[in-house]
């Protein structure tokens, strides 16, 4: 890239003082995006999945090392069967289409959540994508798919009990090491699109001291400029962790 391109980029996106190491994204508003255009909800999900490519690229460009993307919650099974089926198909198609390009771009794909209720072919496809990209190091992209924060903690407790770990050995670090996100730092910034201001069971443990950012923009319209705005807001937040910053 030439110097003038670098210059143009710095003007559009001045360097940020502080970057989050781990950004969670609650990709909400696909349905409303579609309704606004008179389209079926699944068209919104398709547009939402396509937007992922753009957001992942922007995350790499801004230097965010880890993102966790909330794609399907453990509660989303409550939606009409047709929407659930459609969503699963869209995610499967997108994974098939995009994994090669993501791999080329150095993205390490991971999955957090429970794969057991998924069909064998989808399970295998996810596992193959994780395996293919496991040594990539430009960006870790955790896909939260059939994920629920409470369910994750229940799973962790079960595994701790199964391992016969005694009560006095239970620490925060031990619980952390039994979560789906073991080995990753806590989430620093949680972005939610579509104007909602709730956690909807996302990264409950890891988000204990996350900064929250809500934007009215629907997920399919959440672009590089919008990500920059969120990162800029984050860089201005005063994180106190219960103490005082003097």
76 is catalytic: yes
CB of 185 to ligand IPE, least distance (A): 22
Residue 145 binds to ligand IPE (criterion: CB under 6 A): no
Query: Which residue blocks in the chain are alpha helix, DSSP H?
Result: 3-12, 30-36, 41-62, 81-104, 120-132, 149-162, 172-177, 224-236
Instruction: CB nearer to ligand IPE: give 26 or 141.
Output: 26
CB of 34 to ligand IPE, least distance (A): 8
**Which range binds ligand IPE by CB under 6 A, 8-16, 27-35, 95-103, 113-121?**
27-35
Residue 82 binds to ligand IPE (criterion: CB under 6 A): no
245 is catalytic: no
* Inter-CA distances, 37 with 33, 46, 91, 133, 215, Å: 7, 14, 22, 36, 20
* Inter-CA distances, 167 with 98, 128, 176, 206, 218, Å: 45, 37, 15, 22, 45
**Which range binds Mg ion by CB under 5 A, 26-34, 39-47, 76-84, 112-120?**
26-34
Residues 77, 80: Cα–Cα separation, whole Å: 8
Please pick, among 3, 5, 6, 28, the residue that the annotation labels catalytic: 28
Residue 188 binds to Mg ion (criterion: CB under 5 A): no
CB of 170 to ligand IPE, least distance (A): 30
Sorted by sequence, the CB contacts under 8 Å of residue 161 that are 6+ apart come out as none
Residue 196 binds to ligand IPE (criterion: CB under 6 A): yes
Q: Figure out which of the listed residues 24, 25, 27, 28 binds Mg ion, where binding follows CB under 5 A.
A: 28
Structure tokens at 144: 């939260």
Q: Figure out which of the listed residues 23, 27, 56, 203 binds ligand IPE, where binding follows CB under 6 A.
A: 27
**Which range binds ligand IPE by CB under 6 A, 10-18, 52-60, 191-199, 232-240?**
191-199
Buried b (16+ CB within 10 A) or exposed e, 212-227: bbbbebbbbbbebebb
Instruction: CB nearer to Mg ion: give 28 or 98.
Output: 28
Residue 26 binds to ligand IPE (criterion: CB under 6 A): yes
Backbone angles phi, psi at 30, to 5 degrees: -60, -40
Site map 148..177 versus ligand IPE, x via CB under 6 A: ------------------------------
Please pick, among 5, 76, 93, 146, the residue that the annotation labels catalytic: 76
Is 223:52 a contact under the CB 8 Å cutoff?
no
The upper half-sphere exposure of residue 124, i.e. CA atoms within 13 Å in the direction of its Cβ, equals 3
CB atoms within 10 A of CB 242: 5
Q: Which are the catalytic amino acids?
A: 28, 76
């Amino acid at each position: 890239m030439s110097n003038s391109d670098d210059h143009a980029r710095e003007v559009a996106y001045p360097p940020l003082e502080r970057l989050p190491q781990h950004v969670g994204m609650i990709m909400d508003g696909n349905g409303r995006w579609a309704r606004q255009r008179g389209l079926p909800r699944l068209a919104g999900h398709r547009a939402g999945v396509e937007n992922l490519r753009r957001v992942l690229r922007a995350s790499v460009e801004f230097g965010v090392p880890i993102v966790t993307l909330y794609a399907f919650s453990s509660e989303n099974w409550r939606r009409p069967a047709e929407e659930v089926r459609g969503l699963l198909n869209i995610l499967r198609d997108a994974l098939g289409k995009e994994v090669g390009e993501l791999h080329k771009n150095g993205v390490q794909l991971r999955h957090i959540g429970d794969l057991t209720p998924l069909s064998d072919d989808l399970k295998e496809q996810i596992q193959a994508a994780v395996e293919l990209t496991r040594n990539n190091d430009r960006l870790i992209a955790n896909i939260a798919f059939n994920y629920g924060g409470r369910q994750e903690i229940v799973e962790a407790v079960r595994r701790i009990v199964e391992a016969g770990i005694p009560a006095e050995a239970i620490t925060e670090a031990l619980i952390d090491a039994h979560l789906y996100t073991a080995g990753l730092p806590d989430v620093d910034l949680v972005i939610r699109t579509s104007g909602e201001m709730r956690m909807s069971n996302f990264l409950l443990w890891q988000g204990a001291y996350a900064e929250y950012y809500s934007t009215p923009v629907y997920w399919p319209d959440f672009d590089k400029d919008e990500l920059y705005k969120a990162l800029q807001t984050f860089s201005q937040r005063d994180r106190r962790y219960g103490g005082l910053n003097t």
